[in-house]
Structure 1
Amino acid sequence: MALLRRKKNVVEEVVAPEPPPVLPEPPAPGPDGLRIMENHRDYLLSLVEPLSAFGMGLLDAWDLALCEDIASPVDLPGFDNSQMDGYAVLAADVASATAEEPVIMRVADSIAAGDDGQVELKPGQAIKIMTGAPMPAGADAVVPVESTDGDIRRVSIFAPVAAGDYVRLRGSDVTEGTALMSQGQRMDARTAGLLAAAGIDKVLARPRPRVVVVSTGAELVEPGRDLERPGQIYDANSYMVAAAAKAEGCQVWRVQVPSDDPEQVREAISDQLIRADLIITTGGVSKGDHDVVKQVMPTMGLCDFAEVAIQPGKPQGFGLIGDDEVPMIMLPGNPVSAYVSFQAFVRPVIRKLMGVEPQTHTPVRCIAGSVMRSVPGKLQFGRGFVIEQAGRRTVNLVGGHSSHLLGDLATANALVLLDEDVEVVNAGERVMVWMLDD
């Protein structure tokens, strides 16, 4: 007879689905619902990492931040050499030389730049020498050719020299082991020349960020073409933002999407992910029916949209887009708003990608040249023009605060920082600015 057994209860292990990825918690807004500018900037900086460094030639590394400390492997100069065209001598032999009673010496030899310097000077002789040529053994000074008659056999010397005159001593510029550049320092023409002089041809540096600037909007027309109907405008933003990114050392492309169709915007941005280290968009991040960037980007990656307590530039967006989580900064569409937002948020991100310090503008103290008025509760970025006289900087506002005034922006050389609690700055009072042409 078969045994009856109860069927064992089989409990299947239920695996909870992983929660969808999200961005780190953004900074809390203030009582008015607006995010503080510094908090928003620091949040963006926390979401990007410096680009990986690699070895590159000196010219390729121009204007890039180094990722290593570099010490000189050699002395500069590497040997004692002549500072002038003239005659290598023993200074004591020409101590009595005057224009009336020149010292006449036999010219024993001649040395040019690039010669091996295996020449010895004997007392009472001179050796003709060219600028940069190695000093002969036994010589301790050079008589400039202008103080002689220039003869190549028996030279007349009309003025004395002291030991060491017109001689570049080995290591007098740089000694072996001297620091030439430090990590984070940006390569310029002078440092490129210094490294080359020390025989260094490659450095470890971060590459130029590849930045794609995308402008969106059915109203946009490429400059140089005709405005075919009322309501169309020329695309100024992408040129301005792209030029600003170039000024920071980036490799930049512009992409215009003259459409408010979500699918066209999504496709245009998707096409740029393969070549971009950073994408910047202008327009479409506010609350309008046609603010398509704000509609589309959450479907492409992790996004954060905020209203920041600044004027102009209140609506801001950030995302990590695509499989590679390419950082994307979404700026407002009014041109002055886009430019101010670039200076406040994009420029620091670019500098972090490049590994350049400081990442943010350094405020400069100025004296208000006239009365300045501001809207309380927001950090107002006034457009200003700074004049420096006798070490005193004076700033005056250029035009109004409206965010469409490109003519005033082009005239300005500074952004005037009018804090949240400021309503009036009187003439003669202190005010802080960001210089735009540093």
Structure 2
Amino acid sequence: MPELTPLEDALRIVLESVEPLSTERVFLYDALGCFLAEDVPSDTDKPLFDNSAMDGFAVRYEDVKNASEENPAVLELVGEYSAGTGEEIKVDKGTAVKIFTGAPIPEGADTVVPVEYTETKGGKVYIKRAFKKGSNVRLRGEDVREGEVVLFRGHEIRGYEVGMLAFVNRAVVEVYRRPKVAVLSTGDELLEVGETQKRPSQIRSSNHHMLYSLIESSGGIPHQLGIAPDDPEELLRVLKTCKDYDIFITTGGVSMGEKDYVQYLVREIGVNVKFHKLRIKPAKPVLFGTYGKNKLFFGLPGNPVSCGVAFDLLVYPAIRTMLGAREVFKRKVTAVLTRDFTRRDAKRREFARARVWFEEGRFLCEPLAKQQSHMLTSFVGANAYLVVYEGVNELKKGEEVEVVLF
């Protein structure tokens, strides 16, 4: 029996086999979910001019520095400024300009008094409170200076970053291409959703649908190839399409059964197998290899939980690397165990499904009851993996443990 590959070695092999994909220029809205392949500088100072942070009155600090409810400063109103105004009004000694949020600060003014601390009558404004010089004024360039980088290469473009790109007048941006990822489930026993069950031994296929969604949520472009029977010729025909994709994923056919053909057929299509079988639980029967230039093959287990775990631990960081992401792994935190966790076999590192939450300044972790590799319900309600290292049979309530957040 071949030796099991430790997870760290498997991760090293995968990440040494992959690099960011080629780049492309995309329109602002098409950049969502992509990763920047360039630094993005600001086109101008932001803000471009001193402007008001409040609705109120633009004044000279010297005119209002002693104002109070009992002894208000009385200033002559000489005009009004709104956002986008083109009018030019100067604030001289003893005068004020009515101003709205975002409007330029008039020449001569250096402070804005919010409207709620004022009263207007007879063409004059009464200032009823003193403010520090510069209060409620947004200064030119205080957010960012012209030429300063606002988004760096490898930064993920979320909705916030789309807003920033628009803010610095970038309609088109250079990003790493999203990987095309094929998904194929294998097995004579599998039924598609909606297909009539004719024999009790038939089971509903969930893996290729789960993987489709996991790929999409990871930033890849999934391509659904459906279900292939345990027929070497048919399998080989589908596997030969691997050249059309950056990553090709199969589920099933990589264990020790006499109909587990995938592990043998991949070599016929030119896949250089790097490892087969991991020292983890679940997801022991994982096959990984490379083909073409910067193309990856993952043979994942047929058991649905094993399939999901293998994706999170190995395929996810591979996709993120292809995307040019700066962070390719899921987040790890330390949590306090809320109940005991025991197991009989401690030879492999285990990734137990768990529920993690934050309470009173710390993360708490509750291992879920169902942990068998065929029980897809163990993912329902889970939001993390509890990591149980090799040689550990028992974790006690109150212990600090390592968890990987989904």
Paired amino acid for 2:151: M
Q: Separation in 1 of the partners of 2:340 and 2:178?
A: 41
Q: How many residues align?
A: 404
Check whether the contact 2:180–2:220 (CA below 8 A) recurs between aligned residues. yes
Q: Separation in 1 of the partners of 2:228 and 2:198?
A: 13
Instruction: Give SS of 2:93's match.
Output: coil
- CA shift for structure 1 position 403: 0.8
Paired amino acid for 1:138: G
- CA shift for structure 1 position 244: 1.6
Taking a change above 3 Å as real, the CA distance of residues 250 and 365 of structure 1, as seen in their structure-2 partners, is: same
Paired amino acid for 2:246: D
What TM-score, normalized by structure 1, do the two folds share? 0.83
Instruction: Give SS of 1:349's match.
Output: helix
Matching residue within 344, 356, 361 for 2:325 = 356
Paired amino acid for 2:380: A
Q: Does 1:332 align with 2:292?
A: no
Q: Which residue matches 1:141?
A: 111
Matching residue within 140, 165, 177 for 1:207 = 177
Taking a change above 3 Å as real, the CA distance of residues 172 and 265 of structure 1, as seen in their structure-2 partners, is: same
Alignment of 1:234-249 (within 5 A): 234-249=204-219
Fraction of identical pairs, as percent: 35
Alignment of 1:405-424 (within 5 A): 405-424=375-394
Q: Which residue matches 1:115?
A: 85
Structure 2 regions of 5+ residues with no counterpart?
none
Q: Separation in 2 of the partners of 1:250 and 1:261?
A: 29
Q: Which residue matches 1:306?
A: 276
- CA shift for structure 1 position 253: 2.5
Q: Separation in 1 of the partners of 2:171 and 2:384?
A: 38
Matching residue within 223, 226, 234 for 1:256 = 226
Deviates more, 1:62-71 or 1:297-306: 62-71
Structure 1 regions of 5+ residues with no counterpart?
1-30
What TM-score, normalized by structure 2, do the two folds share? 0.90
Q: Separation in 1 of the partners of 2:100 and 2:233?
A: 71
Q: Does 1:347 align with 2:316?
A: yes
Q: Which residue matches 2:29?
A: 59
Q: Separation in 2 of the partners of 1:418 and 1:125?
A: 72
Q: Which residue matches 2:156?
A: 186
Q: Separation in 2 of the partners of 1:166 and 1:66?
A: 35
Q: Which residue matches 1:34?
A: 4
Q: Which residue matches 2:237?
A: 267
Matching residue within 129, 142, 147 for 1:172 = 142
Q: Separation in 1 of the partners of 2:227 and 2:78?
A: 77
Q: Which residue matches 2:20?
A: 50
Instruction: Give SS of 1:247's match.
Output: helix
Deviates more, 1:93-102 or 1:380-389: 93-102
Taking a change above 3 Å as real, the CA distance of residues 100 and 422 of structure 1, as seen in their structure-2 partners, is: closer
Q: Which residue matches 2:62?
A: 92
- CA shift for structure 1 position 334: 0.4
Taking a change above 3 Å as real, the CA distance of residues 169 and 230 of structure 1, as seen in their structure-2 partners, is: same
Higher Rg of the two aligned structures: 1
Check whether the contact 1:81–1:135 (CA below 8 A) recurs between aligned residues. yes
1:54-86 deviation line (CA, Å, top 9, x unaligned): 333343333332233334342211111111222
- CA shift for structure 1 position 151: 5.8
Instruction: Give SS of 2:358's match.
Output: strand
Matching residue within 363, 369, 380 for 2:350 = 380
